[in-house]
Chain A
Amino acid sequence: NAGVTQTPKFQVLKTGQSMTLQCAQDMNHEYMSWYRQDPGMGLRLIHYSVGAGITDQGEVPNGYNVSRSTTEDFPLRLLSAAPSQTSVYFCASSYLRGGLLFEQYFGPGTRLTVT
């Protein structure tokens, strides 16, 4: 199993550009999520999904879109990049057991810089 994979590893964007961060998992997990990590703030949830066709907003969703057309893939779209979106982005997936996140597996991250 490859686990959770993310591409690209690094990206530099100019303000106003759009792009998609890719995330895929091969563990047949129902739950997938995107976090951003900023110094001293831990990880904050952007969007999550509990299954194909079902997505919802997390704590910091503004400026980001997601879709979940398959169980395996959960891309994150930046609509119009802003310097405030400079961060490290992590995708994670998990089984749900009785509605609980059993164990989240994290991807290696994408380091995004917006100039």
Chain B
Amino acid sequence: AQSVTQPDIHITVSEGASLELRCNYSYGATPYLFWYVQSPGQGLQLLLKYFSGDTLVQGIKGFEAEFKRSQSSFNLRKPSVHWSDAAEYFCAEEGRIKAAGNKLTFGGGTRVLVKP
């Protein structure tokens, strides 16, 4: 069965420091992968997506992610964190659930706290 794992439930980082969030997927020779961010009380916003091509993907808000097939990973990074980056981050993989239907399988999320 398709599964997405985010090993870190919480991460605390100082403002200005770098951030890396881990994601491992389990399905598909050609995965379609996404990172979403959820601010408190809000819906999810897409940060970036990987469908094919260059394994380093640039997203919004200064985020990037690197796809590594050998490690089944799609880790999210930001070189310098701002206080406004405090949120919960979700990794997701697209897969088929039936012949005519697709869905996203989400990881459990990583909550990021930013210290001043």
Contact = CB atoms under 8 A, between A and B. Distances in A.
B104 A100 contact: no
Contacts of B108: 40-42
Contacts of B49: 103
Contact of B109 (A31, A42, A90): A42
Nearest to A55: B101
A101 B102 contact: yes
Contacts of A75: none
A74 interface: no
Interface string B25-52: 0000000100010000111111001010
A56 B104 contact: no
A69 to B, nearest CB: 19
B17 interface: no
Contact of A100 (B42, B43, B97, B102): B102
Contact of B102 (A40, A42, A99): A99
A20 to B, nearest CB: 19
Which interface class (under 10, 10 to 19, 20 to 34, 35 or more) fits A?
A: 20 to 34
A43 B106 contact: yes
> Which of A43, A59, A100, A103 is most buried by chain B, counting CB atoms within 10 A of its CB?
A43
Contacts of B97: 45, 58-59
Contact of B94 (A41, A43, A92, A100): A100
Interface string A71-113: 0000000000000000000101000100111011111110000
Interface of B: 4, 9, 32, 36, 41-46, 49, 51, 90, 92, 94, 97-98, 100-104, 106-109
Interface of A: 4, 31, 33, 35, 40-45, 48, 50, 56, 58-59, 90, 92, 96, 99-101, 103-109
